[in-house]
A and B are shown apart, each in its own frame.
Chain A
Amino acid sequence: MKDDEKQLVEAIAEMREEEALDLAKAMLARGDDPLRVLELCREAMDIVGKRFERQEYFLPELVLAGEMLENIGAIAKPLIHERSGGEAKKLGRVLIGTVHGDLHDIGKNIVTFMLDINGFEVKDIGIDVPVAKFVEEVRGFAPQVVGLSGFLTLAFDSMKETVQAIEAAGLREGRKIMIGGGQVDEAVRAYTGADAFGGNAVAAVSLCRQWIAA
């Protein structure tokens, strides 16, 4: 890795936003391969994700890292010419959404972000998602894992209904359902019939790794 490539990875990982943007711009301006720049961003995200898992980083760092990735991506992506290769192979598909009645999304967004930087193909279908919409998306997207998010206690019933509807549609076989957010614990998992619950985004990533690798 060249010196400035190392510097870019380090600047992102160390939350030096301006420096990271300046470096990326300079590399792109002198004609570096935009795919290479994005690959360096991925490497930096990998470090950020690991630090988050080790509880050295928290939500401010995840959100800022996400912003840096987005801003560099916005400059780099238009410069990408048709090339072979393209996107790296994804580990597996995860469908995620906040169940009906609940409008909260920060937890869901963090889980989506963490799964994405860990190599999963994540489809986020938003908040207050009706049961029928989940069923339709499970059918269309065919995820290996479905993540149901909810902050309010009313979400317990919404999660239960969603799990039952996925089952009734004959779509439960061969896929796992995880729940998380707010008050969710083992008692709620049992109540909803989900396969597992997670207390944070790191737990969601390790559940998906465990299920999809198996």
Chain B
Amino acid sequence: MSGDAAARYAERTKRLMDAVELRQPDRVPAIFYTMFWHARYGGMSCRDAMYDYARVDAVMRRILEEFQPDAYALPHPMTAFGAIMERMDYRQMHWPGHGTGENVSFQYLDREYMKAEEYDEYLFDPTGFYLSKYLPRVAGGLEGLSRLTDLPGQYYVALVLGMRHYADARVVGAFAAMREAGEEARRMLSHALAFAREMEQRGFPQAQGAAANAPFDYFGDNFRGSKGILLDMYRRKDQLLAAMDKAGVFILRQALAAGSRSTSRFVFIPIHWAFDGFMSLAQFRTFFWPSFRTLLFGLIDNGLIPLVLWEGDCSSRLEVIGDIPAGKAVYWFERTDLVRAKSALGGAVCLRGNVPASMMTTGTPEQVDACCRDLIERVGKGGGFILDGAIGIPDEAKPENVRAMFESVRKYQP
């Protein structure tokens, strides 16, 4: 690393950590995070951004040099996984060429991947359920794994003879698909790692390493579907609560492992189903917060920094979610008023956000500048604030608005 770049890297890291640890940094830091804006900016289709690793590098390099953010979210693991999904025939998403148009972002499919009657099976043996039922449902290439049932029932001679299952054509086919997808995943991730190292050499820290989900979202998004989990809150309350506790252990282990492989200690946690209109505050206290709080403590106790993106308006949750150790996490709010959040949580947690997506997309640079100035002056006061869009840079944001956002942190002081 050149001396200048090393100094910039250290300076940016300090600025970010000052914000996280609730000290006043030399100025408010700003982070670059997007799903597909880089693709549009670089003249690529969404499909290109999901498949062409080298083009993603080229445009990201240009963006970072041009906008000089204090940290950035590495785009490859967030979007460039089209080829991996193709090789495993992944079914929980539609993406360009697989259900959506060339220039439309991937979208998750809100469906039931675990039936309501299967809670007990999950609770008895999450791994067995995951292997023989869940994986075959979520990926066509993994259907053969449904042959691998009741593995602990194979022991001693039955274990030895049980080896025959691994020569079953369907199982062999599944392993072959897993290997192919795995090789592609390694290719993509080693590419991403090389890019991250290069950016580090140029003085840009990563804004997040691992990712995780709240146990409620984990079940709602990936297993039961939104309708399923809403009904479970009434019909299967105890099973849902027990399953979330169990899943929380696996989510934490996964995040700790991923966090230990990254240079970034930030663990990105997008929160999908906690917003005010979704469930009551009492339900939030029962179904959402306890298992999520356990996860937050698990990450913090292991030296990681939860970076929680609270989607939607979570104003009513503010009185609950401040109950974590001070200066150890970032709460990024999409639509919750940050001034209100600051007065409720300012002593506990660093805030991030939240130039509205509508303004970034349809507004003018003057409007963005005024919005950022207001956020910097009111929310940045006393430290503990990172500037960003409400959900990062929206895919359709005007470049001049993005420029105005990143320039604002150099123009205005709290």
A interface list, Cβ under 8 A from B: 15, 17, 55-60, 63-64, 67, 101-106, 152-154, 156-157, 183-185, 187-188, 190-191, 200
B396 → chain A, closest Cβ, in Å? 5
Chain B contacts for A15, CB-based, 8 A: 234
Most buried by A among B105, B227, B362: B362
Could you tell me if B278 and A58 are in contact, using CB atoms closer than 8 angstroms? yes
Could you tell me if A156 and B362 are in contact, using CB atoms closer than 8 angstroms? yes
Distance A184 CA – B334 CA, assembled complex (angstroms)? 12
Could you tell me if A153 and B361 are in contact, using CB atoms closer than 8 angstroms? yes
Could you tell me if B277 and A187 are in contact, using CB atoms closer than 8 angstroms? no
Chain B contacts for A184, CB-based, 8 A: 358
Distance A156 CA – B363 CA, assembled complex (angstroms)? 13
Distance A152 CA – B357 CA, assembled complex (angstroms)? 10
Partner of B107, one of A63, A103, A153: A103
Chain B contacts for A183, CB-based, 8 A: 356-358, 390-391, 394
B133 → chain A, closest Cβ, in Å? 24
Interface residue tally for chain B (C-beta within 8 Å): 33
Could you tell me if B358 and A58 are in contact, using CB atoms closer than 8 angstroms? no
Could you tell me if A101 and B104 are in contact, using CB atoms closer than 8 angstroms? yes
B388 sits at the interface (CB 8 A): no
- Looking across the interface, which residue of chain B has its beta carbon closest to that of A16? B234
Partner of A157, one of B100, B105, B109, B396: B396
Could you tell me if B279 and A101 are in contact, using CB atoms closer than 8 angstroms? no
Partner of B231, one of A57, A58, A64, A104: A64
B154 sits at the interface (CB 8 A): no
A17 and B235 contact, Cβ closer than 8 Å, known pairs A63-B230, A154-B396:
yes
Partner of A154, one of B105, B110, B279, B356: B105
Distance A106 CA – B363 CA, assembled complex (angstroms)? 28
B79 → chain A, closest Cβ, in Å? 14
Pairs across A and B, CB under 8 Å, 26 listed: A17-B234, A17-B235, A55-B280, A56-B280, A57-B280, A58-B278, A60-B233, A60-B279, A63-B227, A63-B231, A64-B234, A103-B99, A103-B109, A104-B110, A105-B110, A106-B110, A106-B226, A106-B227, A152-B395, A153-B361, A153-B395, A156-B358, A183-B356, A183-B358, A184-B358, A188-B362
User: For chain B, what secondary structure do more than half of its interface residues adopt (helix, strand, loop), or is it mixed?
Assistant: mixed
- Looking across the interface, which residue of chain B has its beta carbon closest to that of A152? B105
Chain B contacts for A103, CB-based, 8 A: 94, 99-100, 107, 109
B283 sits at the interface (CB 8 A): yes
Most buried by B among A59, A102, A105, A184: A59
Could you tell me if B396 and A153 are in contact, using CB atoms closer than 8 angstroms? yes
- Looking across the interface, which residue of chain B has its beta carbon closest to that of A184? B358
- Looking across the interface, which residue of chain A has its beta carbon closest to that of B362? A191
Could you tell me if A152 and B107 are in contact, using CB atoms closer than 8 angstroms? yes
- Looking across the interface, which residue of chain B has its beta carbon closest to that of A15? B234
Partner of B234, one of A55, A60, A190, A200: A60
Q: When each residue 229-240 of chain B gets 1 if its CB lies under 8 Å from chain A and 0 otherwise, what string results? A: 011011100000
Q: A153-B361, A191-B358 are in contact. List 15 more A-B contacts (CB 8 A).
A: A56-B280, A58-B279, A59-B277, A59-B278, A60-B230, A64-B230, A102-B107, A103-B107, A156-B358, A156-B362, A157-B396, A187-B363, A188-B358, A191-B361, A191-B362
Could you tell me if B233 and A156 are in contact, using CB atoms closer than 8 angstroms? no
What are the 5 tightest A-B residue pairs by CB atom distance, in nearest-first order?
A187-B358, A153-B394, A183-B357, A191-B362, A63-B230
Chain A contacts for B325, CB-based, 8 A: none
